[in-house]
Chain A
Amino acid sequence: MRSVSLLQRRLEELGIATVSICNQPEVSEKVCVPRAVFIQYPFGRMLGDVGDRAGQRAVCDDMCAHLEAADGPNAYRHLSHEWPEPPEETQWHPLTPAPMHVLRNNGTAPKGLGHYQDEERPDLS
């Protein structure tokens, strides 16, 4: 989620107007993106469920509206759409754990953000 926010900032710096969607508002707000909408939908299906074209379109409509309405950076809007099943019953994890998750599961992952190479942050200066 951090990478897409950083990519968004960079594209905006390079002259492209951008809008993103995110289900972890704290990341967008900490990275500071130009325009973002927030939604409480699961990873991998942030626009809506399989086959729900009307619902997916409603979320895209909200992104379009926010792109047009935002009049300055750090423009954030929380969307009220609700996922149809409770979070504890909503599947999003891969069937095979990702490499970093394997390390986290066996307790050998780097602590905190140690593996994130953010020590210089030239992109944010």
Chain B
Amino acid sequence: MSPITEVDGYVYYPGSKKRIGAMRPADPARTPWTPLGKPLSECKVTLVSTAGIFMKGDVSFDYEREWREPHWGDPTHREIPKTAAQDDCEYSHLHINTEYLQKDRNTAFPVDIFLDYEREGKIGALADTLYSTMGYTPNFHPLMKKTAPLMAEKMHSEGVDAAFLIPV
């Protein structure tokens, strides 16, 4: 097998090709841009997972409604302290097998790797607050209009320079 030079986006989910092909492209001239502005070793960074992660005892994402209305997904977010351990969290997204995350969050929520980065000085710091959404949100306007500004406000209050987004 030859080395991967271009990722084939349909090897794991061929059935999505038609739907994705039907998506209207945005105008690349209007893609937003915020310069990083300084070396990563001086930046405070955070993580954003879409795995439906929440602290045990916190409010779950609303899956009861998704079962009643399969075209709807919970557009809210949850905050996870960077001090939370693997087993302090639930990993709840309905559209993937979450067993892997439950065994090792770094498969898609690399908290321990970024704590290593912080200790090593590769990043300036990992922010106190990390974030998760639940990635299946066809009803994405609330995610854009309400959830994202709340997340950004909290990130700014903690002096965050950059966010790493890891979908599932």
Contacts and interface: CB of A to CB of B under 8 A. Distances in A.
B101 to A, nearest CB: 7
B55 interface: no
Chain A contact residues: helix, strand, loop or mixed: mixed
A70 B117 CA distance: 20
Contacts of A94: 94-98
Nearest to A48: B107
A74 B97 contact: no
Contacts of A72: 33
B110 A56 contact: yes
Interface string A81-125: 110000100111111101111111000011011011110111111
A117 B142 CA distance: 11
A48 B104 CA distance: 10
A46 B164 CA distance: 13
Contacts, number: 279
Nearest to B66: A99
B59 interface: no
Interface residues of B, number: 91
Contacts of B10: 24
A103 B108 CA distance: 27
A23 B70 CA distance: 24
A73 B28 contact: yes
A30 B140 CA distance: 16
Contacts of B123: 64
Interface in B89-107: 93-101, 103-104, 106-107
Contacts of B113: 53, 56-57, 60
A120 to B, nearest CB: 8
Contact of A102 (B30, B70, B161): B70
B21 interface: yes
B166 A21 contact: yes
A99 B94 contact: yes
B25 A32 contact: yes
Contact of A23 (B12, B15, B99, B110): B12
Contact of B36 (A6, A7, A17, A23): A17
Contacts of A32: 25-28, 30-31
For the complex of A and B, list the 6 residue pairs with the smallest distance between their C-beta atoms, beginning with the closest: A99-B70, A115-B71, A73-B31, A14-B152, A44-B96, A24-B9
B122 A34 contact: no
B98 A49 contact: no
Contact of B26 (A22, A93, A115, A124): A124
B76 interface: no
